Amino acid sequence: MRHVVIGGGIGGVCCVEELCRLVPQDVVTLVTASPALKGVSGVVRLSKYVEEFKVVERRAESMVRRNLRIVRGRVVGLDLAARTVSLAVTHQGPTTQQQQQQQRQQQQQQSGTEEAEELLPYDTLCICAGARPKVLAHHDRVVTLRDTESMQDFAHRLAGSRRVVVVGNGGIALELVGSVRGVEVIWVIRHSHIADAFFDVDAAEFLLGEMQWRQEQEKAQQEQEQADGGVQTQDRDKSQKSMTRQQQQQQQQQEEVWQQHGAPDQRQQKAQGRQELGAALGPKWTEALPKGPPANVKLERSAQVSRQSSD
């Protein structure tokens, strides 16, 4: 039997791992559009329904199974009657050391990453291509968070921003509003209370109060630190002027990391112009955000974005 799994996110990778284990006599093919694969490690079953685990990201080449073939490419069509997947292939993942060596030699001889069309036959097909976010506007000031690249783009732009409008009322918006630093945040939710999908009104109001209280505490603590010898910068915006020396160092380190990913304009084009999305982010994704003083959060309840002006 030939099993084909589309998608290198957690869904696809877990599916492939189980298939390789359960049917070692069959050939399992993983098709991934991005060079990085997601996965889980250190799974601890806490109860019948609750598990704890770490989300890991690794190079496709590092996932080796005897009956696994990894194809780096984009699925561009499906023929359900003929049972074939049409691929625009960028890279064939080797499964053995010998294949890896041959591939390295081929790569040295070839230049570029030209795509070739390939038909992949299957007996069983599992589609784990993920979900697409609802993009409200295509504009150079609008970032839609989903994967590592869009996150890096957002984090970089945050460093030079004074005000951020967060639109959304799910888990991602909730975590983001609680983690963004050094800016004014206007949080637009279409419900009457925050995190409508998770909490009832009472729990939501309690959480909001708690969040604001913590932010005020942190702000007061930082002001105290400033008074006790924090440094002032001359050329940054007002919110960054109140950063402590430690926060400035953290921010500087962060900016150095971002510089390695290219200029903001290039990264933005890359993030917005990509044909395929990478795997979606997971737990602890907000750790890459710049550090700084707590944000001022203003909540806009029962509001929806209807139009976004071009300037």
Ligand X SMILES: Cc1cc2nc3c(=O)[nH]c(=O)nc-3n(C[C@H](O)[C@H](O)[C@H](O)COP(=O)(O)OP(=O)(O)OC[C@H]3O[C@@H](n4cnc5c(N)ncnc54)[C@H](O)[C@@H]3O)c2cc1C
Contacting residues toward ligand X, per CB under 6 A: 6-12, 31-34, 38, 74-75, 128-130, 145-146, 172, 276-283, 285
Cβ-Cβ contacts under 8 Å for 109 (sequence gap 6 or more): none
Tokens of 223: 């002001």
CA distance 146 to 277: 8
The owner of tokens 């150079």 is: 140
Q: How far apart are CA 171 and CA 274, in angstroms?
A: 25
Strands (E), 133-267: 163-167, 184-188
Tallying the residues shown for the chain, one arrives at 311
Strands 2-6 and 51-59: unpaired
Angle at 280 between CA 277 and CA 162, to 5 degrees: 90
| Cβ proximity of 292 and 248 under 8 Å | no
- Measured at the CA of 150, the angle between CA 149 and CA 153, to 5 degrees, comes to 90
